[in-house]
């Protein structure tokens, strides 16, 4: 049986022998400290670092479950929908202001668009509450369906925003033409 002090000495002796210039590990350590690096050696470490970075990225990606990815996508889609709604509301308010300032009677247009947008924003808020409260119990298929519906709604809303921009340009053009005609007749 070997006593503790001699086993420590033997361990020290073995670890000391592992890094002598004649051992394989010692040659590597000596090359790292005293000599220039060869190009293949540098490529090896660069490739090793790239593989390590890829492994870390894949580990994080695989660690994040599908439910979490869907919830993140749903929250991002709701954020995008809210931003688009607010931009659309501002455009409509600008058109409404332009029409109110003009001498033209545009009958048949809705009196106030604010209640419609308040309802839409309230629905987005209700959707966020639904996500917060029901997401743990809802199946992944239902979350995907909700995401698809939200994305379809977002696409339709963006199309309406483009149509509204065209209408806003038409109103400005008509107003400038009418103003020019009125100035000619005055």
Residue 92 corresponds to which tokens in the numbers above? 């409509």
How high is the pLDDT of residue 185?
77
**pLDDT tens-digit series, residues 60-87:** 777 668 788 888 999 999 999 999 888 8
Question: What pTM was computed for the model?
Answer: 0.55
- Final residue belonging to a domain, choices 18, 47, 63: 63
Question: Do residues 177 and 105 lie in contact, with contact meaning Cβ atoms separated by under 8 Å?
Answer: no
Q: Is 8's pLDDT higher than 70?
A: no
How high is the pLDDT of residue 68?
85
Asked if 93 and 26 sit in the same domain, the reply is: no
- At residue 64, φ and ψ (nearest 5 deg) are -80, 110
- Final residue belonging to a domain, choices 63, 79, 112: 63
CA separation for the pair 170, 60 (Å, rounded): 51
DSSP assignment string, 67-90: HHHHHHHHHHHHHHHHHHHHHHHH
Asked if 41 and 81 sit in the same domain, the reply is: no
Asked if 19 and 96 sit in the same domain, the reply is: no
Average pLDDT of the segment spanning 131-137: 86
Asked if 126 and 94 sit in the same domain, the reply is: yes
User: Residue 20 — very low, low, confident or very high, per pLDDT cuts 50/70/90?
Assistant: low
How many domains in the chain? Answer: 2
Average pLDDT of the segment spanning 85-112: 69
- Is the pLDDT higher at 17 or at 79? 79
CA separation for the pair 80, 169 (Å, rounded): 24
Residue 157: closest CA among 120, 127, 115:
120
122-80-85 Cα angle (round to 5): 50
Residue 12 corresponds to which tokens in the numbers above? 């020290």
Which residue is listed with tokens 């009677």?
A: 105
Sign of CA dihedral 156, 161, 165, 170: positive
How high is the pLDDT of residue 1?
46
Average pLDDT, rounded, for the chain: 75
CA separation for the pair 158, 137 (Å, rounded): 31
Asked if 89 and 18 sit in the same domain, the reply is: no
Residue 154: closest CA among 89, 79, 91, 92:
79
Asked if 106 and 140 sit in the same domain, the reply is: yes
How high is the pLDDT of residue 27?
53
Asked if 96 and 181 sit in the same domain, the reply is: yes
Asked if 51 and 71 sit in the same domain, the reply is: no
- Range picked from 17-21, 26-30, 83-87, 179-183 for highest mean pLDDT: 83-87
How high is the pLDDT of residue 14?
46
Question: Do residues 175 and 98 lie in contact, with contact meaning Cβ atoms separated by under 8 Å?
Answer: yes
Asked if 36 and 73 sit in the same domain, the reply is: no
- The DSSP 8-state label assigned to residue 135 in this structure reads T
Asked if 71 and 158 sit in the same domain, the reply is: yes
Domain of residue 36, residue span = 4-63
Asked if 91 and 143 sit in the same domain, the reply is: yes
Average pLDDT of the segment spanning 137-157: 88
How high is the pLDDT of residue 75?
92
- Final residue belonging to a domain, choices 31, 63, 95: 63
Q: Is 98's pLDDT higher than 90?
A: no
How high is the pLDDT of residue 103?
55
End-to-end CA distance of the chain: 119
Asked if 158 and 176 sit in the same domain, the reply is: yes
């Amino acid at each position: 049986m070997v006593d503790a002090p001699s086993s420590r000495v033997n361990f020290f002796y073995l670890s000391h022998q592992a890094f002598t210039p004649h051992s394989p590990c010692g040659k590597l350590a000596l090359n790292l400290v005293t000599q220039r690096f060869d190009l293949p050696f540098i490529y090896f470490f660069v490739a090793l670092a790239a593989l390590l970075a890829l492994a870390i990225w894949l580990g994080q990606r695989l660690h994040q479950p599908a439910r979490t990815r869907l919830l993140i996508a749903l929250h991002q889609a709701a954020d995008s929908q809210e931003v688009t709604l607010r931009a659309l509301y501002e455009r409509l308010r600008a058109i409404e202001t332009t029409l109110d300032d003009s001498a033209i009677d545009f009958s048949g247009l809705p009196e106030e668009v604010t209640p419609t947008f308040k309802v839409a924003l309230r629905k987005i808020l209700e959707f966020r509450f639904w996500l917060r409260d029901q997401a743990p119990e809802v199946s992944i298929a239902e979350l995907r369906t909700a995401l698809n519906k939200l994305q379809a709604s977002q696409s339709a809303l963006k199309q309406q925003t483009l149509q509204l921009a065209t209408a806003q340009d038409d109103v400005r053009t008509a107003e400038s033409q009418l103003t020019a005609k009125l100035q000619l007749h005055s």
